[in-house]
Amino acid sequence: MKYVLVTGGVVSGLGKGVTASSIGLLLKACGLRVTSIKIDPYLNTDAGTMSPFEHGEVFVLDDGGELLFSSGPGNFCLIHVSLVPVLNVVGEQKTKPTQHSVRGLRCLGLTPHLLACRSTTVSSSLQALDENVKMKLSQFCHVPKDNIITLYDVSNIWHIPLLLRDQKAHEAIFQVLNLQSIARQPDLEEWTSRAEIADLLHDPVRIAMVGKYTGLSDAYLSVLKALLHASVGLGKKLSVDWVAATDLEDATAKENPDAYKAAWKLLKGADGVLVPGGFGDRGVQGKILAAKYARENRIPYLGICLGMQTAVVEFARSVLGLHDANSTEFEPNTKNPCVIFMPEGSKTHMGGTMRVGSRRTYFQVMDCKSAKLYGNKSYIDERHRHRYEVNPEMVGRLEKGGLCFTGKDITGRRMEIVELRNHPYYVGVQFHPEFKSRPGKPSALFSGLIAASCGELESLVQFDQTNNNISNKRIHNNNNNNGDSMIYQNGNGNGNGNGKPVVLELDPAIYSLCNGVH
């Protein structure tokens, strides 16, 4: 087992995560098997109890675990990301921040093998490190000059693996890890095409993100990336409107009418609405109002985890007339508990009590949007992170009112997917599909949201009601000059609507590099 550790100094600020994922992609393109582990610099064994404002997004793996296997010489490569600021007045690149950052790292007993230097643009032109700057960094940081690479500003982060390749970062890593004999030159042709396509998109799609932590976009980083993957895959230029859920509430209308009007203007101007997961009662009423607006005005809606739960609560209140319907997370004594605490969970211990990791969802019907988007499979595996779920005792009443729980767990007691049949796209899921979205393989439900928001859902997945199969459909870019580079999604036409799986045939040229990056 070989390890590559990417660290970032206090002054680096930008690029540690992007650098790590880009290096992973580059190494995988060289024929190596790569996996990733995120290690955060705080001593807390249960990050789920912290606010995303403190640490950003909590990312979930299939097994729900994080660890750092040990290593010996030749099995460990340390890459340090640091900032090389540029004085715009004279265009001088300053090395002191990196020198101090490396000094602090060496005080901890760690010496970097490579330096990844972040630099900005000068006079609107790309700026690599000057040779004399590299020599200075090499001398004072004790890193070979050839192992100092530049990560300057680019039009989109998908260009970063290409920068690393062009500066032969992979060869430097191979030398440190003694992998020269087994690794090949990186094949990034598909990735290059995708990065170029992302620069040329112009047909817009606007998604309103209604959340609790809109002041910190990193709190919803995977959701943002999943939206980006889906929009690029469909040839759309993504625009995200951040809507603070509390600003949609009546209390804000009285306290801050300008913020209230601005929030509702953003929501009403969006092509689609997404309500992501979260915990706590702050902003919940605003999320319920967003779900109601999307339902009543037939605006495409995707609710994730809490976003699904608020949609269920809103439906019970507005359609079933259960005006006190609520989640016991917010109102423990509600007479109509639509969402309840998990039976096996502990209400007295907050840490480590969530249902985390990959769980299986079985489709209850095949004639529904979510099943079609997933390729008419009989079941799917997606990652979870929650303590509360839809009350199974309320499901019958909700379904009689028009909600359809199209996905459940193997027991049939846990509601995993909910849809409105007579709506262009109104889907809620208990799991987090954003965690498995990839640039070359967007999440099915995010693709559905983007397509529905552009009025192109039927073009994404055409369903033949006569013989019940998914017809082959090519997804075109709207730009005439690069439409041939987009992805394909093909069905094999043997679905029969009886719950048996239909395997999607994916073009290997498109899906060969689906990595856990970006």
How many C-beta atoms surround the C-beta of residue 4 within 10 A?
A: 19
Average per-residue pLDDT for the chain: 81
Q: Where in the chain is the domain with CATH 3.40.50.300?
A: 3-195
Specify the length of the chain in residues.
Answer: 518
Between strands 403-408 and 355-363, the pairing is: antiparallel
- Catalytic, 57? Answer no
Whether 175 has a pLDDT exceeding 70, the answer reads: yes
Look up residue 166 and give its amino acid: D
In eight-state DSSP terms, residue 315 is H
Distance between CA 381 and CA 429 in Å, rounded? 12
Nearest to 439 by CA among 223, 219, 194: 194
Model pLDDT for residues 78-99, shown as the tens digit of each residue = 999 988 888 776 678 888 889 9
Average pLDDT estimate for 315-332: 94
More confident: 512 or 133 = 133
Q: Determine contact, residues 485/508, Cβ cutoff 8 Å.
A: no
Name residues whose C-beta falls within 8 Å of residue 56's C-beta, 6 or more positions apart in sequence.
Answer: 216, 218, 219, 221
Q: Is residue 285's pLDDT more than 80?
A: yes
CATH 3.40.50.880 domain extents, the chain:
201-461
Helix, strand, coil share of the chain (percent; to 5): 35, 20, 45
Catalytic-residue membership of 434: yes
Helical spans, DSSP H, in 384-426: 395-401
Nearest to 224 by CA among 239, 245, 243, 202: 239
CA 312 to the chain's CA centroid: 24
3-class SS of residue 455: coil
Lowest model confidence (mean pLDDT) among 38-52, 58-72, 238-252, 493-507: 493-507
Return the top range by mean pLDDT from 110-114, 334-338, 473-477: 334-338
The letter for the amino acid at 374 is: Y
Catalytic hit among 30, 117, 305, 338: 305
From the candidates 113, 170, 384, 432, give the one annotated as an active-site residue.
432
- What is the average pLDDT across 405-414? 95
Strands 463-464 and 204-211, by their bridges, are unpaired
CA-to-CA separations, 91 to 125, 132, 153, in angstroms, rounded: 11, 14, 15
**How many Å apart are CA 71 and CA 2, to the nearest integer?**
8
Which pLDDT band, with edges at 50, 70 and 90, does 481 fall under?
very low
Active-site residue among 423, 434, 454, 518? 434
Give the largest Cα separation in the chain, rounded: 73
- Calpha distance 52→229 (Å, rounded): 23
Residue 107 designated active-site:
no
Q: What percent of the chain has pLDDT over 70?
A: 78
In this structure, the dihedral spanned by the alpha carbons of residues 345, 350, 352 and 356, taken in order and rounded to 10 degrees, is 60
Q: What is the Cα–Cα distance from 242 to 446, expressed in whole angstroms?
A: 17
Q: Which CATH architecture has domain 3-195?
A: 3-Layer(aba) Sandwich (3.40)
DSSP state of 273: E
Do 34 and 105 form a contact (C-beta atoms < 8 A)? Answer: no
- The helix/strand/coil state of 242 is strand
Top-level class of domain 201-461 = alpha beta
Phi, psi of 253 (to 5 degrees): -60, -30
